[in-house]
Amino acid sequence: MLYKLSEWGQVLKKRQRLVLSILGTLLLFSFIYNLVIFVLVTRFNYNISDSHRNFFNLVSIAAYIDCGLLALYVILRTSGNYLNDYVPKFSYSKYGNLENWYDKTFAYNQRKLWLNNVIHNLKDVIQLANIKVALSPSGNQGKYEYNIAREFSKTRFIVTDISIQPDHIPSSENYEYLSAINNAMHVKTYLTNIGISKVELIWDIKGAFWHNHRSWKLNKLLKSYLSILEDNGFIVFDAYDEIEKDKIKINKRRNVSEWDSYIEDSTYTKIKKNLHRNKTFKENFNISIIGEGEAKMAVLKKI
């Protein structure tokens, strides 16, 4: 029930100016009309006719209804804000404020030349031109991976996801988007099915790590990645600085077509606490944080 109320609240939010204009105008008219009648009766002993009395009663009833509608509007908006703040599943749903998060994040990153900066920073740690096989286990639409594959034509870049996006970039040349749904927890199985036993690079931007940040899930995912990662191979993910929680809440509630900042924590922020106390991580990886600002990245190197 709360979900349904919140969905209505989010629909109203997209038309909030119209809704508030109508309800506000009705309430203002009711208030002014009742005030005028009250002044006429109390100050000037105006004798209200039956027809005026009936209209007065009608306006009063309309005012009560209008107040009720305003209260309902507040409840719907509040429930929507609550679920957007505290229930990630709702935030990313059709009526949530993070609907189309991938497109909005990609557009923002394009304006910031994010991928160019990331590739430039990674050159100090990884020779991308020498990577033969790379994997993005949570590639969504595959836009970043496609652009990387275009720049490094000798790298076979395999992209998949646990939910295949209908508008993903289709396979071409050295960029390969797998048509089947694939879970990163079972990466060895689906790579074996296409004849690949090892990869040299795992690209996991706002992907499987981000969604599996709890201790036991993170450990299981690290072991899954280890099973297909070449010796001295790399796992790369976003690591921009932590965003203030209040700022995230405020930005989540803004219904805008373009974002002017990130409104989610980075992958590293989400997992760093559990990552650094994880035995699998400690025994098998070194970590480097490279770059600055929004292009800051974490690189795990298999040892």
Helix pair 245-252, 50-86: axis angle to 10 deg: 130
pLDDT value at 235 more than 60: yes
The terminus-to-terminus CA distance of the chain in angstroms comes to 51
More confident residue, 157 or 62: 157
**Cβ–Cβ < 8 Å for 205, 224:** no
Is the sign of the CA dihedral 148, 151, 152, 154 positive or negative?
Answer: positive
Highest mean pLDDT among 36-40, 137-141, 262-266: 137-141
Angle at 137 between CA 278 and CA 300, to 5 degrees: 40
The confidence band for 124, taking pLDDT boundaries of 50, 70 and 90, is confident
The confidence band for 62, taking pLDDT boundaries of 50, 70 and 90, is low
pLDDT value at 258 more than 70: no
pLDDT value at 264 more than 50: yes
Helix pair 101-111, 114-122: axis angle to 10 deg: 70
Task: Convert the pLDDT of each residue in 193-233 to its tens digit.
Answer: 999 999 999 999 999 999 999 999 999 999 999 999 999 99
For residue 99, what pLDDT is reported? 73
For residue 162, what pLDDT is reported? 94
For residue 72, what pLDDT is reported? 63
Task: Convert the pLDDT of each residue in 25-41 to its tens digit.
Answer: 776 776 776 666 666 66
In angstroms, the CA 162 to CA 207 distance is 10
In angstroms, the CA 56 to CA 48 distance is 9
Mean pLDDT, residues 250-262 taken together: 61
Tell me the percentage of the chain whose pLDDT exceeds 90: 55
pLDDT value at 183 more than 50: yes
**Cβ–Cβ < 8 Å for 149, 175:** yes
The confidence band for 89, taking pLDDT boundaries of 50, 70 and 90, is low
Mean pLDDT, residues 129-150 taken together: 96
| The length of the chain, given as a count of residues | 303
